[in-house]
């Protein structure tokens, strides 16, 4: 953890902070390429080999059966089921408001329009291993269902967690595969004897999963290239230092590479947060301790305007605004994945239950990418319909521009239709 005034940061260190977390997949790209090609060429045989090699499990049936799902649900505490169901309702309610309808208009006899259609098949990657992420199931599957996706599949490492299976049942997932890692991504992209080929792959994962998504992105659509999780907090002297420290630690417990930054115009708050962090670290996980030690910053600026400017340049995945004029600050924010306003709105709200999506752009990609939404599961088609008169009305424009570009058959395709009408 480092406490520093922004004006004292060297250009190199500031650039290092701003350009953080870019996923360094080059180091594993060739190794992952071999896995992807093997699955592409050898299907289930390759999946069995890599599942045994990486997960230590021999497996013949990759699809989770109904009995296995029912058994898992029966072993989940009712309070957890109830929490998942309530989270489901909130997430669905929020994403339903993102839906847009097809539309058209008629102008000078020509009919032009915008057609909205869902993607047909989607594969959702849900990480497993050391942790359980039933919330990610909801965040991926719900917007897909709201968009109207006909077939939603989830793939998660072998011996799937009971909470993940329960979330899949609540989210009405069509099929669950016991597959993890790069091999799971390749299976969804190309299809195998057991795994259905999909049109789009969404969901977070480790560096191998990320590399695989990049490699298959020429044959299947993906959501985004995701890096380590991160939070940036803008706070003034009125903010609660303990709340801020807790939120920084909450982000840090995701991953040793997670980033937590406080930007404040108050030296007093900076000292208080540093003290709170040191005290709370005594009871934090090993992962959180490592993350805070390596990747946490408390940056002191002249005023909140400087804090906003830094935040916009940083483009955080999660942005908290804890100021007495938080709404005014919000108006000046240009780049962020998801924004949390006020001291009673920790990032955990969006992670689990508020309704907003927690699959977000990291590593500065919030400058050009957005949170996962219903739009990720929709296609937009354009149409136009002209009659003889409306074509003639626009023909001169088309012919002139086509000839300027040297595309004479474009011009003729219009001219001959117009001349035929005139005869």
pLDDT digits (tens, 9 = 90+) for 138-160: 999 999 999 999 999 999 999 88
Could you tell me the pTM of the whole model?
A: 0.94
Catalytic residues: 317-318
What is the model's pLDDT at position 227?
87
pLDDT in tens, the chain (423 residues): 999 999 999 999 999 999 886 667 888 999 999 999 999 999 999 999 999 999 999 999 999 999 999 999 999 999 999 999 999 999 999 999 999 999 999 999 999 999 999 999 999 999 986 678 999 999 999 999 999 999 999 999 998 899 999 999 999 999 999 999 999 999 999 999 999 999 999 999 999 999 999 999 999 999 998 889 999 999 999 999 999 999 999 999 998 999 999 999 999 999 999 999 999 999 999 999 999 999 999 999 999 999 999 999 999 999 999 999 999 999 999 999 999 999 999 999 999 999 999 999 999 999 999 999 999 999 999 999 999 999 999 999 999 999 999 999 999 999 999 998 665
Q: What domains appear along the chain, each with residue ranges and CATH number?
A: 2-22+228-354 (3.40.50.1980), 26-222 (3.40.50.1980), 387-422 (no CATH)
- Can you give the three-state secondary structure of the chain, one letter per residue? CEEEEHHHCCHHHHHHHHCCCCCCCHHHHHHHHHHHHHHHHHCHHHHHHHHHHHHCCCCCCCECCHHHHHHHHHCCCHHHHHHHHHHHHHHHHHHHCCCCCCEEEEECCEEEEEEEEECCEEEEECCCCCCCCHHHHHHHHHHHHHHCCCEEEEEECCCCCHHHHHHHHHCCCCEEEECCHHHHHHHHHHCCCCCCCCCEEECCCCHHHHHHHHHHCCCCEECCCCCCCEEEEEECCCCCHHHHHHHHHHHHCCCCCCEEEEEECCHHHHHHHHHHHHHHHHHCCHHHHHHHHHHEEEEECCCHHHHHHHHHHHCCCEEEEECCCHHHHHHCCCCCCEEEECCCCCHHHHHHCCCCCCCCCCCCHHHCCCCCCHHHHEEEEEEEECCHHHHHHHHHHHHHHHHHCCCHHHHHHHHHHHHHHHC
Q: Which residues contact 46 (CB under 8 A, 6 or more apart)?
A: 35, 38, 39, 183, 192
In this prediction, residue 68 carries a pLDDT of 95
């Amino acid at each position: 953890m480092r406490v520093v005034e922004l004006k004292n940061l060297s250009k190199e260190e500031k650039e290092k902070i701003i350009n953080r977390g870019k996923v360094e997949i080059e180091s594993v790209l060739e190794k992952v390429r071999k896995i992807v090609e093997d699955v592409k060429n050898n299907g289930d045989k390759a999946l069995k080999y890599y599942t045994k090699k990486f997960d230590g499990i021999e497996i013949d049936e990759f699809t989770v059966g109904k009995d296995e799902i029912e058994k898992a649900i029966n072993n989940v505490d009712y309070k957890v089921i109830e929490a998942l169901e309530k989270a489901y309702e909130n997430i669905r309610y929020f994403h339903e408001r993102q839906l847009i309808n097809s539309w058209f208009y008629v102008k000078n006899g020509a009919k032009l329009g915008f057609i909205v259609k869902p993607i047909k098949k989607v594969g959702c990657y849900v990480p497993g291993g050391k942790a359980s992420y039933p919330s990610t199931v909801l965040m991926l599957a719900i917007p897909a269902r709201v968009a109207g996706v006909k077939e939603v599949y989830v793939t998660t490492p072998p011996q799937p967690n009971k909470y993940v299976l329960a979330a899949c049942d609540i989210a009405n997932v069509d099929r669950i595969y016991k597959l993890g890692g790069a091999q799971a991504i390749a299976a969804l992209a190309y299809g195998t004897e057991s795994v259905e080929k999909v049109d789009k792959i969404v969901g977070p994962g480790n560096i191998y999963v990320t590399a695989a998504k990049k490699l298959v992105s020429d044959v299947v659509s993906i959501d985004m290239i995701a890096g380590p999780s991160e939070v940036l907090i803008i706070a003034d002297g009125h903010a609660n230092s303990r709340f801020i420290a807790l939120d920084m630690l909450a982000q840090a417990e995701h991953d040793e590479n997670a980033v937590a930054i406080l930007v404040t115009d108050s030296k007093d708050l900076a000292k208080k947060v540093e003290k709170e962090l040191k005290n709370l670290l005594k009871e934090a996980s090993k992962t959180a301790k490592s993350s805070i030690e390596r990747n946490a910053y408390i940056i002191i600026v002249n005023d909140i305007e400087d804090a906003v400017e830094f935040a916009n340049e940083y483009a955080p995945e999660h942005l908290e605004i804890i100021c007495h004029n938080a709404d005014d600050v919000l108006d000046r924010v240009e780049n962020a994945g998801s924004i949390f306003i006020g001291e009673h709105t920790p990032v955990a709200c969006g992670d689990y239950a508020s309704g907003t999506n927690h699959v977000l752009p990291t590593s500065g990609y919030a400058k050009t990418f957005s949170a996962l939404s219903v739009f990720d599961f929709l296609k937009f088609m354009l149409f136009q319909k002209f009659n003889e008169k409306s074509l003639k009305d626009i023909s001169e424009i088309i012919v002139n521009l086509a000839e300027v570009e040297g595309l004479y058959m474009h011009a003729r395709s219009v001219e001959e239709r117009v001349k035929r009408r005139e005869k």
